[in-house]
Amino acid sequence: MTLLEGKIGESYKVEDLTLNGMTQIRLEALGLTKGTTIKVLNNKKSGSVIFMVRGTRLAIGKKIAASIVIEGV
């Protein structure tokens, strides 16, 4: 599943990032590396998601959320 389907309050493990390019590098630099645990804090119908990674809250849009492959922990 992708982060788009993440449920508020649940934790997930990052399986893969399918973005490539600069945005992917930026996400990785922010600590969103493969195997990291993230916690979904908000998920709106429009696809914008807030999640916690390595002690930081990040807000992302639909396109990025759809490219983060996650797995329940």
Footprint of another protein on this chain (CB under 8 A)?
Answer: 22-31, 33-34, 36, 41-42, 44-48, 50, 53-64
Asked whether the beta carbons of 58 and 15 are under 8 A apart, the reply is: no
Residue number, 1 or 59, with CB nearest to another protein: 59
Cβ at position 70, least distance to another protein in Å: 17
Separation CA 42–CA 39 (nearest Å): 9
* List of E strands, the chain: 11-17, 37-43, 49-53, 56-60, 68-72
Residue 64, strand partner residues: none
Residue number, 61 or 72, with CB nearest to another protein: 61
Cβ at position 1, least distance to another protein in Å: 19
Cβ at position 12, least distance to another protein in Å: 17
